Amino acid sequence: MSRVTSHLKDFLASGWPAVLATACGATLLGGFLVETAGGPPSLAISLYATSYLTGGYATLDPLWRNLRRGRFSIDLLMIGAAIGAAAIGYWEEGAVLLFLFSLSGALEGFALDKTSHAIDRLLDLRPATAQRLDAAGAERRVAIEELAVGDLVRVRAGERFAADGRVVVGDASVDQAAVTGESMPVHKRPGSDVFSATIVVDGALDVELTGVGEDTTLARIVALVREAQQQKAHTQRVLDRFEPWYVAGVVVATAAAYGVARAVGLGPADAVYRAMMLLVAASPCALVISTPASILSAIARGATAGILFKGGVHLETLGRVRAMAFDKTGTLTTARPEVQRVIAVDGGTPAELLARAAAVERFSEHHLARVIESAADGAALAEATGFHAHRGMGVQARVAEQVVRVGSERFLREAGLEWPPEAEAAIASCHADGMTVVAVGRRRVEGIIAVADTVRPEAAATIATLRAMGIERVVMLTGDSPAVARALARRLGLDEARADLTPEEKVHALAEIARDYGDVAMVGDGINDAPALAAARVGIAMGVAGTDVALEAADVVLMGDRLERLPSALRLARHALAVVRQNLAFATAVIVVLVTSVLAGWITLPVAVVGHEGSTLLVVLNGLRLLKAEI
């Protein structure tokens, strides 16, 4: 009971539409009681007239604006039906119509506001104050409005970040669910980015602010979702174009119904009554509201899970895709190369080979040098002297009075080193698996170190899930070598891998796939895939919390760096499409049943009103179920 009372209070506090609908109902009830008790007819009519004014007031302004533009709207049908009922003495039926119409409108607005509040509540997660550090390291609590980029703030366990920043000092776990939707805390250390409204679970962090106020990731998310909810889905745009023509048709049909009723001998009052019933029964309120109720709820549900749809049209399109294309680096892989294999072929151990290579590579600026150094972390490295780099080939230095060369096959061959057959076989095996090979040797090749970008642990399972959900074609588009692309495609079970592609060639590849499969989604990291993301029917950027490029280029943004959230986005889009279809089918069926019943003379005006407004509320409630959808 307390929940019902709470909802009623919230409804009455939601604005003038709710207050006017309540006043309309109260004066309707008053007129009915006076009439039933045999009171003065003038008093009953006065109360009904007041009910008319309060019930119809909210529709007068949009009705007038539409008529000035020469556009017919549903409001015209409702006001016309109520006036027609009053003209023939059916004040009570007209008041019931306006009460249910105004109540339905107020409840729709109240219900759809919940989708907006679901997003606005994210901003409420920001703390009102923050602990700012001065130049001497002393703490001072200030309002978040006083914070500026470059300020240093301290956030302890249980506290929320007031703005975006980068960790300067500290080591802690942070709950980022409010921004990225991740269920598990993320470890943060110096250099890590943190986001407004996220929570320090344990430890404490000193953070240099990089974004404050409306320039935080959270604020951009909220702005993005608000903008998306204002963009109409394709189905909704079609219905909006259809509405004025449909309303005009209903007006003509109503006039024809009056003429037919008079022609078959009905009196003027009965003919108007029949015409008014048809006017109400054929009104497409439920049909028009069915799509936005569902799409707005789905957009809000996605945002709370770290999935941002930049418009209803993108939600609809994703629900229809049959093929998906993926970038490789940073999408199917982590974009963090690691040593995958160390193979010694000349009597030494893999650990000795790795330590010898690292002793030379620590002087190199090449990115693979850092990978080899990291893999040898903890090993005692010998001193290397006489370091020399051969650009694009490799490096060499003297270790224990012997020259050690580390680099490409060509580099070691041109240096005249001997090549054992075992080294040839190891290199061929690593190349077949798509790895980059670094050879190590002194007078002869002593072994190889194979380096490769790390495949995301969840990549194979995500691809399998997409296939199980009915995605017919899964393609990888990459600028990497064919050998690397083929190896990864085999490992993940992709249908096709297209390699050595420039950004422009990726766009052409998407067009080719679309010719066979229709709508195609492109999944990338949102930074170097902007052309392909923009060209795809649905561009999906992942793992890019705080990245402006992704928010601009993509149609859908997965805020967390987790590929497995992609099936959730697809599942939500398909669920939303299913609910839209349910609503459209139900709303159409109700109109058909009501119109048939009116023409057959089976129902009265109050029954037609209840059927019309009841169906409108039902499609709204059905759409709101998406706010709690399991994805």
Q: Which residues are catalytic?
A: 327
Which long-range contacts link 539-543 to residues 24+ away (Cβ below 8 Å)? 540/318, 540/566, 540/569, 542/331, 542/566, 543/330, 543/331
Instruction: Bin 109: left if φ > 0, else alpha if -120 < ψ < 50, else beta.
Output: alpha
Q: Give the span between the Cα atoms of 367 and 532, in whole angstroms.
A: 27
Instruction: Bin 379: left if φ > 0, else alpha if -120 < ψ < 50, else beta.
Output: beta
User: What is each CA distance from 473 to 219, 413, 463, 491, in whole angstroms?
Assistant: 36, 43, 10, 16
Q: Which amino acid appears at position 99 of this protein?
A: F
Take residue 345 and report the two structure tokens written for it: 């072929």
Nearest to 296 by CA among 111, 558, 112, 557: 112
Q: Give the span between the Cα atoms of 222 and 224, in whole angstroms.
A: 5
Let me know: does 586 contact 286? Beta carbons within 8 Å: yes
Q: Give the span between the Cα atoms of 558 and 566, in whole angstroms.
A: 8
Nearest to 324 by CA among 224, 188, 474: 474
Let me know: does 398 contact 452? Beta carbons within 8 Å: no
* Backbone phi, psi, residue 470, to 5°: 105, 5
Alpha helices (H) in 433-555, listed in sequence order: 459-468, 482-492, 503-517, 530-535, 548-553
> Between the CA atoms of 249, 252, 255 and 261, what dihedral angle is there, to the nearest 10 degrees?
-70
Q: Sign (positive/negative) of CA torsion 494, 498, 502, 505? A: negative
- What is residue 163's three-state secondary structure? coil
Take residue 305 and report the two structure tokens written for it: 């899970």
**Does an H or E element contain 389, and which?**
strand 384-390
